Amino acid sequence: GVLDEPSLREVLRKESVEELGIRPDEDVRDQWCLGVFDCGEEQGHALNAVFVQQLRLSAAVLSSCYEGACDRSEHSEVRCVHPQEALQLSPMTHVARQAVRAFLLVGALRPFSAKEQVP
């Protein structure tokens, strides 16, 4: 999300609602910030925060939420993939590739506890 709020939590909340159509308080199990990235010259060097969210939603429900999102046009599609498969996606921007690599590293270092796992 674009850093247009003083609080990273509020940036994520706003972007989650606008771009995915989800309800952050109900639909998000866990989340963390991977970092802040410069989007490059093409996007005026805008700074974006990149987050990981573990959702309580199935892929089908997320897809349905996305269809009702007010800013869904910011993305050509939303795909649900296993993290190890994400680096094989193409095309992929430099920022997205770095975010996936950071996610894989942080995910390996920050496992979810057994009580947080969906049965």
pLDDT digits (tens, 9 = 90+) for 32-52: 887 888 878 877 888 888 888
Residue 118 lies in a domain: no
Q: How many CB atoms lie within 10 A of CB 12?
A: 20
Q: Report the domain count for the chain.
A: 1
Q: Where are the beta strands (DSSP E) in the chain?
A: 28-38, 47-55
pLDDT digits (tens, 9 = 90+) for 63-116: 999 999 999 887 778 888 877 788 888 888 777 788 788 878 876 666 554 444
Distances in whole angstroms, Cα of residue 63 to Cα of each of 39, 66, 67, 70: 26, 5, 6, 14
pLDDT digits (tens, 9 = 90+) for 54-78: 899 999 999 999 999 999 887 778 8
Residue 119 lies in a domain: no
Q: Is the pTM of this model over 0.75?
A: no
Residue 2 lies in a domain: no
Identity of the residue numbered 116: E
